[in-house]
Amino acid sequence: MKISYLKDNIHLTIYSYWSWWFEASNKQDEISRAILTVSIVVFMFLWYKWSFSSSKTSDQLPLPPGPRGLPILGYLPFLQPDLHKHYTQLAHRYGPIFKIWLGTKLYVIVSSSELAKTVVRDQDQVFANRDPPIAALAITYGGINIVWSNNGPYWRKMRKVLVHEVLSNANLDACRGYRRDEVSKSIKDLYTKIGTKVNINEIAFFTELNVITSMLWGSTYVEGEKTGNLGAEYRVMVFKIIELLGAPNVSDFFPILARFDLQGVDRVMKREWAKIDLILDQIIEERIRSNASRSKEMADKERSKDFLQTLLDLKEQNDAAKSFNFTQMKALLMCILGLNLLSAYQDIAIGGTDTTATMVEWVMAEILDHPEVMKKVQDELSQVVGMDNTLEESHLPKLHYLDAVIKETFRLHPTLPLLTPRCPNQSCTVGGYTVPKGAIVFLNVWAIHRDPEKWENSSEFFPERFLNYNEDNTMWFFPFGSGRRMCPGIPLAEKMLVYMLASLLHAFKWSVPLDEELDLFEKFGIVMKKRKPLILVPSLRYHHDY
């Protein structure tokens, strides 16, 4: 019975992940399938030869334990859709650090706060590199952005430019008006939709998109004369990029086959990249022409008002430590836009459009599921802001309970449940096991945030736990990652998230439509979304002059 079930499970899993392979519809598909078939035979021979030789010559500490897989395919046929939960189950069986082979790649999954601290703090230098998937390389000019470039002089230069030049306190303060204006527009629009159904993710997405593009080049993405009304198209592109980043790709598991692009992931991702690249080219060229036609006094007056001008000024400098070319500039802009969605929130996340919208949705869902929490949040807003006043960014540091609600939501629903994979630049030891050079290391932050040994009633939504939370150099809570690859834009990301949520909750009461059902089910992906969009009905709480 168990053997029959196992066979059925293998068959269904393989078909689910690789149905594209069995459905050859033309001669090119048949040729590609023949290439892979021959390659599998070659891989099988090499795999057995490598396994035999490595078992005889290794005098290091053993590799972490883990489930057995099939020759060549490894554990691929046994993976379950919700990887964060599946990895948590495997951790219960094999321990807080275990390995799996996926094709020719070795993956190591860490699921405890103690071992996570070893990776991102004690051995941060060793684990500071990346192993970009094909889809990520396609959307980031070959991996030259901050998220996917390896630790080294180039990465340090780009990060320094982003942190000290682009995201400086002066620049962030100069952009305060953009954030206020775009949130105000969204609230005014919601006043016209009182009593009707609204999609929370959609509202948050377009508000965030306009905020970010305003900070980047001084006008909203949907208002630009050159780009037209492309907000909806951009949202479609973002969802397509997320889908491609999260899709299993044979080229990632068998790098020798990458040149064939058997699933077309590289081709499709580059097509999406070309659309964004064209828009960025148009915006940069327009700014250069505009600068050329302005007086020096006018240009100097406006240079600090958006990030694009800051980058253009840096490009013209002779300082090799700060200047860079147009391709590197566009890679930075794409990061800031949140287009590198595999790490948009974790590594640079100045509020990547999709990740922030997703967190607004999760926070609102949890608040609606806990009416007593909503009352406490709105009572705090009434006390801090006042019933007759408009919410300003200056109020945000005083919203302690809302901050605790957001942190508790990040604990239960981390935007990137496995964070961004790390790749050690040399073999090292973690938890008494060898992690070989080049292995791909995931930190299962979803499991760490729900560890019952660290969190009382770990599966319950209880914001009060964060009112007096003290990290004390632990690694119990790190939704943005940690170490040198940690997000440099956390202050701005949190500010934008809190500002948007506080504005929505200060101006309106919210309820679930009678014909809708509130659920908190997850849909695993690179960005962990709700399974169903959150549809709510706003009603007037206070009317303010936004």
Mean pLDDT check: name the lowest of 36-45, 86-95, 165-174, 193-202.
36-45
Within 10 angstroms of residue 375's Cβ, the number of other Cβ atoms is: 11
Q: Collect all residues with Cβ–Cβ distance below 8 Å to 482 and sequence separation of at least 6.
A: 116, 120, 121, 475
In the block, tokens 């834009």 appear at 489
Taking all residues of the chain, what is their mean pLDDT, rounded to a whole number?
81
Query: Which residues sit opposite 509 in a β-bridge?
Result: 539
Task: Tell me what percent of the residues of the chain surpass a pLDDT of 90.
Answer: 44
Q: Go through 78-88 and write b for each residue having 16 or more CB atoms within 10 A of its CB, e for each that does not.
A: bbeebbbbbbb
pLDDT band at 53, cuts 50/70/90? very low
Residue 405 exposure: Cα atoms within 13 Å on the Cβ side = 30
423 carries a ligand binding annotation: no
- Are the C-beta atoms of 282 and 257 separated by less than 8 Å? no
Q: What is the pLDDT of residues 153-169, one digit of tens each?
A: 888 888 888 787 777 77
Q: What is the pLDDT of residue 342?
A: 35
- Are the C-beta atoms of 221 and 230 separated by less than 8 Å? yes
In the block, tokens 């962030």 appear at 172
Q: What are phi and psi of 99, to 5 degrees?
A: -120, 155
Residue 515, classified by CB atoms within 10 Å of its CB into exposed (0-12), middle (13-18) or buried (19+), is exposed
Token couple for 130: 């990346």
- Are the C-beta atoms of 83 and 107 separated by less than 8 Å? no
Q: Which helix (H) or strand (E) holds 110?
A: strand 105-110
Task: Tell me what percent of the residues of the chain surpass a pLDDT of 70.
Answer: 77
pLDDT band at 99, cuts 50/70/90? very high
pLDDT band at 4, cuts 50/70/90? very low
Q: Rounded to 5 degrees, what angle do the CA atoms 210, 212, 216 make?
A: 115
pLDDT band at 9, cuts 50/70/90? very low
3-class secondary-structure state, position 108: strand
Mean pLDDT check: name the lowest of 169-173, 186-190, 350-354.
350-354
Q: What is the pLDDT of residues 10-27, one digit of tens each?
A: 444 443 444 434 444 455
160 or 306, which is more confident: 160
Q: Is the pLDDT of residue 218 over 90?
A: no
Q: What is the pLDDT of residue 57?
A: 41
pLDDT band at 232, cuts 50/70/90? low
- Residue 9 region, left (φ>0) first, then alpha (ψ -120 to 50), else beta? alpha
Q: Rounded to 5 degrees, what angle do the CA atoms 135, 140, 145 make?
A: 130
Q: What is the DSSP letter of 336?
A: H
pTM to 2 decimals?
0.82
Q: What is the pLDDT of residue 85?
A: 96
- Are the C-beta atoms of 64 and 435 separated by less than 8 Å? yes
Euclidean distance between the first and final Cα of the chain, in Å?
65
Q: Rounded to 5 degrees, what angle do the CA atoms 399, 405, 409 make?
A: 145
Question: Mean pLDDT over residues 494-498, rounded?
Answer: 85
3-state DSSP percent of the chain in helix, strand and coil, to 5: 55, 10, 35
Q: Go through 410-448 and write b for each residue having 16 or more CB atoms within 10 A of its CB, e for each that does not.
A: bbbbbbbbbbbbbbbbeebebbebbbbeebbbbbbbbbb
Range from 262-276, 302-316, 337-351, 462-476 that averages highest in pLDDT: 262-276
- Are the C-beta atoms of 110 and 443 separated by less than 8 Å? yes
What whole-number distance in Å separates Cα of residue 385 and Cα of residue 184?
Answer: 15
Question: Mean pLDDT over residues 277-286, rounded?
Answer: 85
Q: Is the pLDDT of residue 5 over 50?
A: no
Q: What is the pLDDT of residue 341?
A: 37
Three state DSSP letters for 264-279: CHHHHHHHHHHHHHHH
Distances (CA, A) of 151 to 124, 343, 389, 485: 10, 16, 47, 9
Question: Mean pLDDT over residues 492-506, rounded?
Answer: 89
pLDDT band at 376, cuts 50/70/90? very high
Q: What is the pLDDT of residue 228?
A: 42
Q: Is the pLDDT of residue 430 over 70?
A: yes
Q: What is the pLDDT of residue 205?
A: 84
